[in-house]
Structure 1
């Protein structure tokens, strides 16, 4: 009997997860969920032109280096730190995420090493690497927890933001008035009448819109067919306003 109890206790102890170790399939906390949705909303809807209006010189060569990093990147880093600490085992949580998304973990590691080299050599381009590579890798790592409520919120935010972006683009195209023009160190490019909408540069808008259209064509099963067709038509019209020829060809072909 004693041996039986001992074996049972041993097996139970082996099967039980260690304290603080994330369990696959568990939902994330409300703060992390809201933060991820907010980070994606900020990423897709806040351009450098908007940031300039509040004194944040994101699209520029001069000014505080901290302003060259997009606010969504700061939010993603803070969320990862919060989620790791809230798990009770920060190192174990990071290892867990890396195990689920090894390619993203490798991308983050390489980007951070490259960032250190750039800083050590005092070379330009630090902020660009952080926004382009580090933030993207960290976001994918955080999404690896596969929380259904988070993904549902992200889908809604992307649909809403991209719809608003397309409508604003068409308004700018029709009125020849740019609401948030692309700026460099505060100087607006008013001679470029292509729509800037929410994402700033026309070509950046065209690229994101093209990807969104392809996503609507291949997925978005939660939307009814009439809604999907309407969104695709709206986004294709916005592509004309953005003037991205490569994006239009990619979408059509």
Structure 2
């Protein structure tokens, strides 16, 4: 209560200084300049089109065991480091930029600090995973710091690019499945030095599991109504094409999860119709058309053997399912000190080989815990969640569904416990598809 009394109204002038307050004006930052916007477009092309398989095909030696350490870092990582440097140097309000980051990106800064701590731990003890810092951690951090400064017009262009990209990516995957030949083949290097060519389709997304994960995220995003640049009459055909691409990629978990989600949405639609709730007539026609067409498509694909490769993955998966059973006993085989802070590299490798997991551990948290300790793994995972939360606050609420799908799928294989720039691809996809319609178009939100 003030001296004016409880019932005394304030004058309109009392609120005058509040609107143009310095704290509010300080956050009304301009978007990045034209040069940075153009460089960001080049970065997007490098990230989505120039996959690890393309680099290996042209002799960059990105995935091979041998070769120069310089080539073990993706070209898009080099470029985004340069891009961020140019952005900071050319940005006109550097002081306000630092305040903006401190006000909105503390979680991302924590993630960077956790990543640097992990690198120090790796270098000091000679552990594995040094390349993870650049392509997974540093790359993701810089991407999260730059995306808010992409102008709305360029975000509109980015969304249209993503729809065309996923169309071309799915079409290429289906063609690769049909002809039995990969345009950009994935060469796998075994621990004993043997090389094998991955029989599953890869298209533009480097690895079948990475491709299946991102494709599943895109399907869920379209089912949630995201991606307004895609016409409504093209939405269901695009979803059907992406489902066919999932079949070509051979990602079992992503394929089953997509089927469960679509069946759940269909059941919910039928339940609402039975309860007499108002429903779109077009939506009902589309869903009821999908059922017979889907059954016929599955029957035709099964008759030509399109599901044979995926069924083989269920019955003989190269030990992947066995890995998920024994990776926890592997972690528990260490004493408390080694479990928390990481054991010596030679001892870790001997334990991994003794458990028959030389091909890798099928969970990012456990894999990081085995090689670097639970403390480092927990810090990295917490930083990842905080970074995602900060990105989510700038999106519509429905973005929680593809985020949950992505995190679930990432926990079914090594994912971001290794070189995993696919995380940056995911961040770009959901940031473009789930933009808030009421976000200001003249300054950074």
TM range (shorter): 0.7 to 0.9
Paired position in structure 1 for 2:241: 234
2:253 equivalent to 1:246: yes
2:126 equivalent to 1:129: no
Query: Does the residue aligned with 1:144 lie in a helix, a strand or coil?
Result: helix
Query: Does the residue aligned with 1:222 lie in a helix, a strand or coil?
Result: coil
Do the aligned partners of 1:58 and 1:69 also contact (CA within 8 Å) in 2? yes
**1:83-121 CA deviation, whole Å, 9 max, x = no partner?**
111125656534423422322222122212322332333
Paired position in structure 1 for 2:282: none
* Whole-angstrom distance in 2 between the partners of 1:187 and 1:69: 23
The structure having more radius of gyration, on CA atoms, is 2
* Runs of 4+ in structure 1 over 6 Å off: 14-17, 185-188
Paired position in structure 1 for 2:84: 80
- C-alpha spacing 1:164/1:126, structure 2 compared with 1 (3 Å): same
Do the aligned partners of 1:25 and 1:146 also contact (CA within 8 Å) in 2? no
Query: Does the residue aligned with 2:149 lie in a helix, a strand or coil?
Result: coil
Do the aligned partners of 1:112 and 1:134 also contact (CA within 8 Å) in 2? no
Do the aligned partners of 2:171 and 2:245 also contact (CA within 8 Å) in 1? yes
Q: CA RMSD in A?
A: 2.6
* Whole-angstrom distance in 2 between the partners of 1:140 and 1:221: 23
Paired position in structure 2 for 1:4: none
Q: CA deviation at 1:201?
A: 1.5
Q: CA deviation at 1:55?
A: 2.1
What runs of 5+ residues in structure 2 fail to find an aligned partner? Answer: 1-16, 261-445
2:210 aligns with one of 204, 208, 212: 204
* Whole-angstrom distance in 2 between the partners of 1:93 and 1:121: 36
- C-alpha spacing 1:150/1:94, structure 2 compared with 1 (3 Å): farther
Query: Does the residue aligned with 1:189 lie in a helix, a strand or coil?
Result: strand
Query: Does the residue aligned with 2:238 lie in a helix, a strand or coil?
Result: helix
Q: CA deviation at 1:230?
A: 1.9
1:172 aligns with one of 155, 161, 176: 176
1:45 aligns with one of 40, 45, 49: 49
Paired position in structure 2 for 1:7: none
More divergent stretch after superposition (124-133 vs 208-217)? 124-133
Paired position in structure 2 for 1:8: none
2:39 equivalent to 1:32: no
Q: CA deviation at 1:216?
A: 1.6
2:97 aligns with one of 90, 93, 116: 93
Q: Give the TM-score normalised by the residue count of structure 1.
A: 0.83
Do the aligned partners of 1:104 and 1:138 also contact (CA within 8 Å) in 2? no
Paired position in structure 2 for 1:6: none
Q: Give the TM-score normalised by the residue count of structure 2.
A: 0.49
Do the aligned partners of 1:25 and 1:147 also contact (CA within 8 Å) in 2? no
- C-alpha spacing 1:60/1:226, structure 2 compared with 1 (3 Å): same
* Whole-angstrom distance in 2 between the partners of 1:124 and 1:92: 39
How many residue pairs are counted as aligned between the two chains?
237
